Amino acid sequence: MVGNVSVLLLGMALAVVVRRSNYSIPGAVSDVFMMGRYHQLAGVLASICAFSLVNIWGYEPCPT
Amino acid sequence: MDDVRSTKLLVSSPWFKLILGGLGVGLLGLLFYFISPFWSSTGKPEVISVGGFLANTIAWGEKVILRDNYLLSGIPPILRYLILGIVLGSFIDSVLSRKLTWKRFNEQKIMKDDLPYDIGGGILIGFGVLLANGCVIKHLLAGVPGLDIASFVVVAGIIMGMWLGLKIVGG
């Protein structure tokens, strides 16, 4: 129950961040090929940098 | 005075918003990773994945029809709460920012021009998610920073696929 609610809240936070910043990971990848739309790429690099903090604690490969 | 002006310029720049958004998504992905052992059946951390929800739905259908998971197993059911949260969060945010409106779409354009691409693209995404064991979010957000070689291969494939798609349908 606590896990479900925490993931629900996390999903809500994710939606707010994406809506307010116009940032989209899949959109950024396609924007690479469109002239003058490289802004999204900065967001992807920031995401990768933020998530790579996981390496400090040790990353386990995707379980699936 | 110049400092205030340059700060305003920085905040209003599209780069600043997107970098903040990117950092936010990355940190939320990280939070998901750290809270996941509390609900994971294996007790191991899981990585965030939106396409996993679709795969989870298929796995459920597979279990109902075939009585077992032959193709898919181990996809965390909790991902459905993540999707629910994304839909709910978008709704609440659009209400709070007074941007919630009914939008009428161009039916003729959708039915005639967009529908074949929507269906074809949807099938390709579903096929790709199952084949690659995850979507672009999982591989680009969690796999690449985790230096997972498979994710580098998947991202290279996604980039090639997008380039090919743009060549075929134009962009």
CA atoms of B16 and A45, how far apart (whole Å): 13
In a domain, B3, yes or no: no
pLDDT digits (tens, 9 = 90+) for B26-75: 888 888 888 887 776 677 777 777 766 666 666 666 677 777 665 555 45
Most confident of A52-61, B24-33, B78-87, B135-144: B24-33
Q: Would you say residue B61 lies in a domain?
A: yes
CB nearest B29 (choices: A43, A51, A64): A51
Q: What gap in Å lies between CA B78 and CA B13, rounded to an integer?
A: 37
* List of chain B residues whose C-beta atoms are within 8 Å of the C-beta of residue A1: none
Quick one: pLDDT band at residue A59, thresholds 50, 70, 90? low
The verdict on a CB contact (< 8 Å) between A64 and B32 is: no
ipTM of the complex: 0.79
Q: What is the pTM for the complete model shown?
A: 0.74
**CA–CA min distance B62, chain A (Å):** 17
Residue B92 forms part of a structural domain = yes
The residues, any chain, with a CB within 8 Å of residue B93's CB and separated by 6 or more, are A15, A16, A19, A20
Residue B6 domain-assigned (yes or no): no
Task: Chain B: give the shortest CA distance to residue A20, in Å.
Answer: 8
pLDDT at B92 over 90: yes
Q: Which of B19, B8, B145, B151 is nearest to A38 (CA)?
A: B19
Residue B93: the pLDDT is 92
- Pair of tokens at residue B108: 């003729």
Of B41-50, B89-98, B121-130, where does mean pLDDT reach its minimum?
B41-50
Domain carrying residue B40: 13-169
> Is B87 a domain residue?
yes
Per CB-CB distance under 8 Å, the chain A contacts of B141 are 25, 47-48, 51
Residue B82 lies in a domain: yes
Residues in chain A closer than 8 A to B140 (CB atoms): 25, 29, 44, 47-48
Q: Do A16 and B93 touch (CB under 8 A)?
A: yes
Q: Would you give the DSSP letter of residue B36?
A: G
User: Quick one: pLDDT band at residue B4, thresholds 50, 70, 90?
Assistant: confident
Answer yes or no: is B120 within a domain.
Answer: yes
Asked, for residue B108, whether it belongs to a domain, the answer is: yes
- Give the C-alpha separation, B91 to B84, whole Å: 11
Q: How many domains does chain B contain in total?
A: 1
